[in-house]
Structure 1
Amino acid sequence: MEHVVRLEQVSSQLLAVVRRRAGVRELSKIVPEACGIVWNVVRAQRVAGAGRHVAVYLDDQINLEVGVEVSTPFAGHGEVIGSATPPGLTATTTHYGPYQRLHEAHEAIRQWCASNGYRPAGPNWEMYGHWKDEWNNDPTQIVTDVFYLLVADGSSS
């Protein structure tokens, strides 16, 4: 799949999350489990405005925050805490297809940055489209937006 990478200035998005650390091979288990934990708390707390699931990769050691978008600051409940995506200039692409191929979107953004003189600033995140039952039969329709925060001045490396 070809990924079209674009520059976007994004605002911070409020989140309710749990913090985790994972190895690459553990992500396919940890991210869905963490999403479930957060969603159960958000539902039990009757948090209004809950949106898509999100995984924020804080560093190369795969320290991450996994949770859901919320419309107001989340005060916290147990291990679920309030957080937010970072605001700023991002390189982003939309990935259509199974989660097992999300690495292709990340690689496309990294290559685009290198080719266009932009430097990732550290955090990157995935925002997963709302699940649709038909995706069980056709995983090529799964939608995930991938964002990489860029250095503040947008200068080349």
Structure 2
Amino acid sequence: MNEYLNLAVVAFVSATILPLGSEVLFLYYLNDANLSASFLWLVACIFNTLGSVVNFWLGKYCRKFENSRWFYVKLDKLYYAERCFLRYGYWSLLFCWLPIIGDGISLIAGIFKTPLRLFIPLVFIGKSARYGVLLWGGGVVFT
């Protein structure tokens, strides 16, 4: 049971703007015959998606501070990000699983007030596919 909690915490934190990777731990736990591979997949998907929701909320509230001196994003860069996000649309949320870029996508989705009813399912699908590939690949490698 402790392994599932460890994976949940690592998957959650790795989806926020903090640098951490949950894939190695996920693959490590797949090698444990006492753990359910499908439950590991579900835990990783759910908590990694919840971590992206944290980025979403950070993005949603950072616009309140855009006129502050300490605001680290230049407005021209913010407008460029907005054009890119609007150009590719909500489907870009399927790529929130990508390292570094994915955190930015979820943050930008919050900045531009993407509805959560679209954000959560699309991010979950993308992250589920990534962990699914790891599950399939890990099963091939470790069996």
Q: TM-score, normalised by structure 2?
A: 0.33
Structure number, greater radius of gyration: 2
Task: Report the structure, 1 or 2, having the larger helix content.
Answer: 2
